Chain A
Amino acid sequence: MSIPCTRCNVKSSTYHREYSGERLCPDCFKETVLDRVKRTINKYKMFEWDSRIAIGVSGGKDSLVLLHLLHMIESVRPKAELIAVCIDEGVSGYRDEALRLAEINCRKLDIEMHTLSFSDLFDETMDEIAVKERELGACSYCGVLRRRALNEAAKQVDADRLATGHNLDDMSQSVLLNILRGDTHRIDSFDPGGQKLGDYVRRVKPLCEIPERETTYYAFIDNMEFQSLPCPYADEAMRSDARRFLNQMEHKRPGIKFAVYQTGLKIRGTREGQVMNRCEICGAPTPGKICRTCELTNS
């Protein structure tokens, strides 16, 4: 027996949003996701009417959903521009498929795509880094280098914003991880709306209030092709633990991810008075003497 959509009351519902009690048909589901992303953009004043927005596209579902949503949202602003920026970390097999998916979607939406590789920027691929003797897991290297690479790519295309596909699950995991690690600096910089810091292009996270289940379901009903290969270096044990814990809590108590995310927003400090130094090696803004990218690439 089909249950009518609680929003339009016309079509049959296909998705139960447990934390709100809504039962939605595919059209209303997509509209409510779009509305929430628009509200998030407005709440954090993420874009100007004429922003040149670099979208970090990995080829995964989150970044592809972001690409499609921003294409819809920004199409009513003729002065706004979208450019997809893709990072080729040099993970053979895995990244080839992702870049192919990114290219298909950019072509479909007529969005320019700019690719930058780890080997261009750091003279090393992730495949080469992964086989080296190292203190940290591969994800730690990849995350830091990828963040720098995205910023460089955004600068190369003269973007004034860099939008990434971080979703509610990513955000709530980060809050929990930073609390567990006692990393007060990162809690202070928890900011979905981002800030212009020195040479860093302002990073914004328009999907920060969309749960990962919903970006996945959106991609499914929009007939997007899914990446079939997992990253061979995915080994971020602590984040996996946080993800599993939050998923189990959300299953028992729907809405817990929103609560953790809101807690992060409440406990973060302000950046006023926070002094940023210049990295002694590359000149990038850093709270210490050497930035994390240089620490890792020189270790």
Chain B
Amino acid sequence: MRIRVRLMGVLSKAQRNKEVFLDLPNDSTVGAAIKTIIATNEALKEVLWDTEVDSPSPNALIILNGVEIKNLQGTETPLLPGQELVLLSVVHGG
């Protein structure tokens, strides 16, 4: 399945693009999508991922189709084709 990822604020500079499309296996979760996008981008990983606890940084706001993922099932939230994931760093550019 294909989902759209929108990067806002400093994350768009880290990725050098405001949006990307990800092709993922059908049973993918939000966590899997984020791991895919940071796998090839160290700058993005630094801002978005907390390596100590191996999960998204508490500084990151992750929004799936307008809903913040803490209001869903967190990184375990299943994805559906065509959904939009917004990634936003809380602290930078404040």
Name A residues whose Cβ lies closer than 8 Å to a Cβ of B: 2-3, 12-16, 18, 23, 26, 58, 60-62, 98, 165, 169, 212-213, 215-217, 220, 226-230, 234, 243, 247-248, 250-251
Contact = CB atoms under 8 A, between A and B. Distances in A.
22 contacts: A3-B71, A13-B67, A14-B66, A14-B67, A15-B70, A16-B68, A18-B70, A61-B94, A212-B90, A212-B91, A216-B90, A220-B63, A220-B88, A226-B93, A227-B9, A228-B10, A229-B93, A230-B10, A243-B91, A248-B52, A248-B53, A251-B58
B68 A228 contact: no
Contacts of A18: 70
Size category, B interface: 20 to 34
Given A60-B93, A212-B90, A212-B94, A217 B68 contact: yes
A247 B88 contact: no
A169 B92 CA distance: 13
Given A13-B71, A16-B68, A228 B93 contact: yes
Contacts of A13: 67, 71
Interface of B: 8-10, 12-13, 50, 52-53, 57-59, 61, 63, 66-68, 70-71, 86, 88, 90-94
Contacts of B92: 227, 230, 234
A245 B29 CA distance: 27
Q: Which of B10, B12, B57, B92 has the most CB of A within 10 A?
A: B92
Contacts of A243: 59, 91
Contacts of B57: 247
